Chain A
Amino acid sequence: MPTTTLLWLLPVFPLLAFVLIVLFTNRNKALSHTLAVGAAFLSWLGAMVIFVRALNIGPEALAEHPIRSWVNWLPTGHGFLKIGVMVDPLTAAVLFFVAWTIFMIFLYSVGYHNFGYPEGDHDQKGLPPHGATVVDEHGHKHRVPSIEPMYSRFFAYIGLFAAGMYLLAISDNLLTLFVGWEIMGLCSYLLIGFWFAKPSARAAGIKAFMTTRVGDVFMLLGIAYLYMATGTLSFPDIFKPEMLHQLANLNSGVLGLSAAGLIGVLLFIGTVGKSAQWPLHVWLPDAMEGPTPVSAMIHAATMVSAGVYMVIRMFPLLKAGSLNGAFLSPLAVMGFIGGFTALFAATIAVAQNDIKRVLAYSTISQLGYMVAALGAGSYIAATFHLITHAFFKALLFLGSGSVIHGMEHGVLHTGNHEVDPQDMFNMGGLARKMPITFWTFVIGGFALSGFPVLTAGFWSKDMILSASFFGGHPVIFWTLAIAAFLTAFYTMRQITLTFLGKPRTPEAEHAHETPWTMTVPLMVLAFFAFTAGWVGIPEHFPLLGGLLPDWFTHWVGAAYETLLQQAGMFKEIAEEGSLVPLYTSLTVSLGGLFFGWLVYKDVTSPDPATDPLKKWLGPVHTLLQNKYYFDELYGILFIRPAYWFAEVLTFRWLDRGLIDGILHAIARAVFDLGKALAYWIDLPIISGAGDLIGNIVRTFGRAFRVVQTGRVQDYMVAAMTSVVAFGALVYYLLVFAH
């Protein structure tokens, strides 16, 4: 099959699964998940074929002549807006991780939603399953997990979601990228609010949609501006040296930015929303209300990555927009926002007790790393971390889901539903109960912490640190270094509290390992969390450098290297000569892991108040635990004023009060005038004279009263007769007089 055909098909498979499940198979759970997982498999297969074909072409050739196919989509006066698909080295790398993570998450969902278990005793659509009672052959009653009541719907949603992600990844233009982007936004809303009957889940879905929409409307403006300025939205057409220079030299009239600069900033605000960067980060932690595979997929591997992918994709434009050195140029803004977010979110993660929330803040923080890397000018480091992070964070989320699942087993066993199966203080000692989950989680956690040499996270984080050391501002480098220390610390805190020591509750005592559909994806992802970094070992790395080729830098670098050189925007960063970033990287990662273990190894009580950090930090800990009160702040600053503006000002005061008030005043004036005329003029003068006539008319009136039946139908017949007469006239004029 031609590569371009295959490319168009990638989003079609899961989309088709969505349509089929919604329209036909939603009553049959097995068929529904077969369709969805089958579609994910086909897309995975297609993506792998494309990946291999891309490898055979080679990076330079592929960057020079990407595999492309396009069609005219919108007529615009005398031209057309084209949309299409393409594969260049960047797309190929992104497709690789997207395909793997999506396929693994689909498979995992089967087990996570308790396929094979009976329907629940009291389960309702819109609420998580509560468990079922089964009677075995000896007549004993057992509590077992129950299957998700909206099982098919879940697979339909993630099918649509996967379609959106594939569409985004293969787009050769910003428009279809935006379509995929928004389809994922919708799915994220639906999946976060999957258990919509829970008010917290419902609110979280809406919060996610609205917060990201803030970014989206800015992005839409950026797209419109770009389209206006260049007459195209296709990447290869925008990324031409002359086009970039033209945009860089055009003054936008806003904040001293060039057109490229303003477009870059507007697009980046879209990323701030989608990739949950400060100050639009608030939705992501709440998004943990969704089922765990959703968290993994949307909030680790795919959707939030999409935000970063978009700015990586637009890097030449961002670079061009930063040439004139305006204070708020895109790359400067990204360096600041990314660095700040990385540290800011890491501090919050330290004080969270919910196993998924820790990971949520960690995601925000890691995305901050990628954004900061771009700010420092290294799109390669950003892409590298994007990919390794997708693998190990998906692994961690799926691992945490497995833990929660195991804990829910325990809860069903003891019957004590007061115990929160997501609170890490209720766990402890799960390493022996759930060995596969434990080991894979450790691999993921160490990758996240940047455990030296072995893990993927080390290589990508090292690349970012050295990029920001050599290419960025020292403040950003040290910010990222401190954040890296905190990352290792909270990760080890999580591992220690969850898996090590002794079980702190009876529920943790009765937790057990999850089925193969869940553990196999864990193992596959663990493999990549280990090895994905080895393809990008820098050539100048002490001892190891040069043993394996630095394939990744070469491959992704090729995507824009020639272009940037041609445009005169390429800056070779000399990365040799200083080992500061390497030593920093080693110190913070090992130090963080060690302290995390040291502080939490002796926690024995399930009471979160015994957190040692709480004692040491006091009110600061409360501040962190409450996420710096951003939710409350936004409530006061934006949400409540918006309600007031809508309900009181716009509707009650302006529409009902002022505008309708004026209309009513006019109506009253006319009405009163009419009454006055009737009373003072009509009655004495006209009626007086009229009475005489009236008497005569009355006589006639009696005669014609038959017609005035007071029935609407009769009037209608009269009206109709006139219309027919009129129609006949028209017909005459039309046909005979013509």
Chain B
Amino acid sequence: MAFLQNHLLSWILFTPALAAVVILFFPKEKANFHRWFAFIASLVPLALSIWLWAAFNPNAAGFQFQEQAPWFTAVHSTYHLGVDGIALTMVLLTTLLTSAALLASFSIQERVQTYMVLFLLMETGMLGVFMALDLVFFYVFWEVSLIPMFFLISQWGSEKGVRVWGRKREAKERDYAAFKFLLYTMAGSLGLLAAIFLLGMVSGSFDLPTVMAHWKTVGGALWGIPVATIKAIVFWAFVIAFAIKVPVWPFHTWLPDAHTAAPTPGSMILAGVMLKLGAFGFLRFILPLYPEQAKIFAGALAFLGMMSIVMGAFASFGQTDFKRLVAYSSVNHMGFVILGIAAAAYAVSADPTTAAIALNGAVLQMFNHGLSAAGMFFLVGVIYERAHTRDLREFGGLWPLVPVYGGILLFTSMASLGLPGLNGFVSEFLVVRGAWPVFTLFTALSMLGLLFTGGYILKGLRDVLQGPLNTRWVGHLTDISVREIAVIAPLMVLMLWIGIWPMWILDVINKAAVHLLALL
């Protein structure tokens, strides 16, 4: 027990990878076994992260549950894990959504064994990003999480559709999407890698707490280049890498393609967790290491956040493909995260309360978007599996055919819309309150996005559930199954719980935000 508790983070981090290894030793024909094994294995890190949540002390500053061991001694890189309240929240989100996504993966029929292995490896990759306190280690996991997703999209993605990317140049939709996702993120992470090594060279360590302690005083020159210049280069490399990952408008066009082409559970993880990696990068590196630069460029970032909110909502409103509509909603919702981070970066010294509120909003919005986006993608998947189409114009009046599904879709849609009483409202309210005094104009303009959030959500409901019944579906659609309800029900409970009583999660986030802001 003590061993478990002392290495809780390692256990959470490597249980999925371990399970992936175990799966390999069983014959590939036993698809059902692989499904159940992967799902049950994913419950272990979930249970452990709930334990982690309970054992975490929100009042203490700094990182908890730290583990450190020599790893890549040649470059002074160590195996160093630890979580603060923000990372903790993300760990919980990751383990929860992975379990939900694996349960949703029961409908995957092809190469189940490989699929499950990839999925579990991906979980380890994502958890590592949230837990790593060593920059090299962080980078390794950043990449590890990327590769399985590439295969999930290109191998198990939707088979329909072709995209043209030049004269006589065509690609299958899923190949196009997978490569766009991979290359775009890689383009960002190359800069990230270079930045991490420059940072390591300059500060003499890859250990984040060490770097943070010395960073401000580091001076001099490297290879004849002033350190100030190098710091600026590192800043921009970080910003670009994370902005692509979030994604911030106008780096966002990989997202609708990747989300639409990915298999349902892949979209759930992509939207639910992967986008948070970028936002998490902003919080973990840019805010603590570059408070001054962050403040200088906060206005620009807030502008891009506002554009994400507005243009994301409009683009979503303009879709006829249900899944692409949901995909664009992620751009819209992540815009609030960016707006909140920008406001916090700007207000930190002048108005700490506003900064704390904005940061609370941003982090809670990350969690909330994880719930609602995963839920929405799952529900799109449920109807797609039955109807084999996602074209909104082909549905119509399905509510009487699928009453339970209809109710669940309505609930989840309203959470996504930010209806007060459900989770999304709390975080959006906090972001709006935090951003208003700092970026009044951008906040006011982003209300246009909030208005059209209503537009696209109601458009989805209108075309799927309401209207005259499209008789073509009578007898072909079955209502949502018990397993599928089991996937969505925990998410719905959390949406409601956070909407009505956000204290349990916001207390942890708030204290972490206060600690973080105190460092700047």
Contacts and interface: CB of A to CB of B under 8 A. Distances in A.
A692 B357 CA distance: 68
Quick one: which of A22, A76, A663, A733 has the most chain B CB within 10 A? A76
A227 B433 contact: yes
Nearest to A179: B420
B219 interface: no
Interface string A622-655: 0000000000000000000011011111111011
A591 to B, nearest CB: 44
Interface stretch (B195-203, B288-296, B446-454): B446-454
Contacts of B506: 74-75
B129 interface: no
A716 B432 contact: no
A189 B69 CA distance: 58
A650 B510 contact: no
A221 B432 contact: yes
Given A125-B400, A182-B421, A206 B462 contact: yes
Contact of A646 (B20, B256, B314, B356): B314
Contact of A182 (B14, B420, B502): B420
A486 to B, nearest CB: 34
Contacts of A712: 111, 114
Contacts of B256: 655
Contact of B356 (A77, A181, A713): A77
B503 to A, nearest CB: 7
Nearest to B410: A190
Contact of B24 (A213, A220, A720): A720
A228 B113 contact: no
A664 interface: yes
Contacts of B399: 125-126, 196
Nearest to B356: A77
A218 interface: yes
Contact of B21 (A198, A214, A723): A723
Interface string B16-31: 0110110010001000
A716 B155 CA distance: 15
Given A77-B352, A126-B397, A651 B315 contact: yes
Interface string A482-511: 000000000000000000000000000000
B353 A716 contact: no
A698 B36 CA distance: 44
A651 B318 contact: yes
Interface in B166-183: 166, 169, 180, 183
A573 interface: no
B253 A73 contact: no
Interface string B499-520: 0001100110011011000000
A730 interface: yes
A217 B451 contact: yes
A48 interface: no
A217 B436 CA distance: 13
Given A74-B430, A75-B360, A668-B169, A733 B113 contact: no
Contacts of B502: 73-74
Interface in B65-81: 67, 69-71, 79
B452 to A, nearest CB: 8
A724 B18 CA distance: 8
Interface in A29-55: none
B349 interface: no
B318 A659 contact: no
Contacts of B71: 730, 733
Interface stretch (B93-101, B273-281, B465-473): B465-473
A228 B436 contact: yes
B226 interface: no
B253 to A, nearest CB: 5
B318 A716 contact: no
B67 A734 contact: yes
A717 B24 contact: yes
A76 B430 CA distance: 9
B467 A196 contact: yes
Contacts of B253: 655-656, 659-660, 663
Nearest to B111: A712
A179 B421 contact: yes
Assign chain A's interface to a size class: 35 or more
B192 to A, nearest CB: 19
Contacts of B166: 664, 667-668
Interface in B412-459: 414, 419-421, 425-426, 429-430, 432-433, 436-437, 443-444, 447-448, 450-452, 454-455, 458
B260 interface: no
Nearest to A730: B79
A264 B397 CA distance: 42
Contacts of A179: 420-421, 425
A199 interface: yes
B250 interface: yes
A175 to B, nearest CB: 8
B209 interface: no
A615 interface: no
Given A182-B420, A217-B447, A734 B79 contact: yes
B117 interface: yes
Contacts of A655: 252-253, 256, 315
Contacts of B490: none
A716 B514 CA distance: 44
Contacts of A122: none
A727 interface: yes
B18 A76 contact: no
A78 interface: yes
A716 B24 contact: yes
A77 B356 CA distance: 5
A22 B111 contact: no
Interface string A220-243: 110111011001000000000000
A183 interface: yes
A186 B462 CA distance: 14
Interface in A193-223: 193, 196-199, 202, 205-206, 209-210, 213-214, 217-218, 220-221, 223
A22 B407 contact: yes
Contacts of A196: 397, 399, 465-467
B165 interface: yes
Interface string B239-270: 00000000000101100100000000000000
Interface in B48-106: 67, 69-71, 79
A224 B450 contact: no
A214 B451 contact: yes
A76 B113 contact: no
B510 A75 contact: yes
A560 interface: no
Contacts of B363: none
A723 B397 contact: no
Nearest to A733: B69
A206 B426 CA distance: 24
Contact of B315 (A77, A225, A650): A650
Contacts of A197: 397, 400, 466-469
B304 to A, nearest CB: 13
Interface string A276-305: 000000000000000000000000000000
A566 interface: no
A122 to B, nearest CB: 13
A181 B455 CA distance: 19
A711 B236 CA distance: 41
Contacts of A651: 314-315, 318-319
B466 A193 contact: yes
13 contacts: A22-B407, A125-B399, A125-B403, A642-B317, A645-B314, A646-B316, A655-B315, A659-B253, A667-B166, A668-B166, A720-B20, A723-B17, A727-B14
Given A76-B357, A182-B421, 12 more contacts: A74-B430, A79-B353, A196-B399, A197-B400, A667-B165, A716-B114, A717-B24, A723-B121, A733-B79, A734-B10, A734-B69, A734-B79
Closest 6 CB pairs of A and B: A77-B356, A646-B318, A647-B318, A125-B400, A179-B420, A196-B466
